[in-house]
């Protein structure tokens, strides 16, 4: 079974929290703090990877927004009308691609591990079983 809508939003939120914790300690080469809400950063050869990581934080926010937009098609009882199915699935699929990209980029930048990202994506019941006591 795929990830629920709530789980996808939670995974974006956990990635965003990880990025904010990491960026709290990262500064651009000119000594200025990197704002994790910035999504357009002028090229600065002294800034290192911080602007790219800040952009990932923006992508997390957008992923949550995409999921919320997709969920607008659901009725109050969670039913998805036939006419809205294509739009809903298209938005959710895009959000899932973004989540995969973000998690891969975080791993590639050495900010997380594959195991940590697997844990983020696990259903809640499995996470409880996987957590060391």
Residue 78 pLDDT more than 80?
no
- Average of pLDDT values for 48-74? 83
Q: Tell me the pLDDT tens digit for each residue of 21-38.
A: 876 655 444 455 555 554
Distance CA 85, CA 104 (A): 28
Ordered by start, the domain boundaries in the chain are: 5-125
For residues 14 and 50, which has the higher predicted lDDT (pLDDT)? Answer: 14
Q: 79: pLDDT confidence band, cut at 50, 70 and 90?
A: confident
Q: Is the pLDDT of residue 125 over 80?
A: no
* Higher-confidence position of 42 and 79: 79
Task: Name the phi and psi angles at 27, rounded to 5.
Answer: -125, 150
Q: Is 61 in contact with 19 (CB distance < 8 Å)?
A: no
């Amino acid at each position: 079974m795929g990830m629920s809508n709530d789980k996808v939003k939670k995974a974006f939120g956990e990635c965003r929290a990880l990025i904010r914790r990491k960026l709290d300690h990262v500064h651009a080469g000119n000594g200025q703090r990197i704002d994790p809400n910035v999504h357009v950063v002028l090229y600065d050869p002294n800034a290192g990877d911080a602007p790219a990581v800040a952009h990932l934080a923006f992508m997390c926010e957008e992923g949550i927004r995409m999921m919320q937009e997709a969920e607008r098609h659901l009725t109050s009882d969670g039913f998805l009308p036939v006419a809205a199915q294509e739009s809903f699935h298209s938005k959710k699929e895009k959000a899932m691609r973004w989540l995969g990209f973000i998690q891969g980029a975080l791993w590639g930048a050495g900010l997380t591990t594959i195991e940590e990202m697997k844990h983020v994506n696990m259903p809640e019941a499995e996470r409880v079983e996987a957590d060391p006591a």
